[in-house]
Amino acid sequence: MRERDLFARLRADRELIDQAAARLRHLAVQDEYRGQRYPEHAYGLASILDTISLGLTDIPDSIRTAAVRTARVLLDTDPHHGDGDGVE
């Protein structure tokens, strides 16, 4: 794979992971307004995604692939996961 293609893929993966982390935080805040408990679970996963995103160039491909897959599920963009009902 050419270097430019690799950087473009990493940039797209980072954006997707960052979007998923932001969505988790948003949903956690909404859940808190509705009186739901344990928002720290969503915040914790968002923090893990942030950490992966920041070190995306230094982590094994298997972890990057798993993070991207998780982000797609969280954002309802994974065609191989369920009915696309989301995390809400």
Q: What is the chain's length? A: 88
What are φ and ψ of residue 76, in 5° steps? Answer: 60, 35
**50-71 tens-digit pLDDT:** 999 999 999 999 999 999 999 9
Dump pLDDT digits (tens) for 27-55: 999 988 888 888 888 999 999 999 999 99
The pTM (predicted TM-score) of the whole model is 0.81
80 phi, psi to nearest 5 deg:
-100, 15
Radius of gyration of the chain (CA): 14
Domain ranges of the chain: 3-74
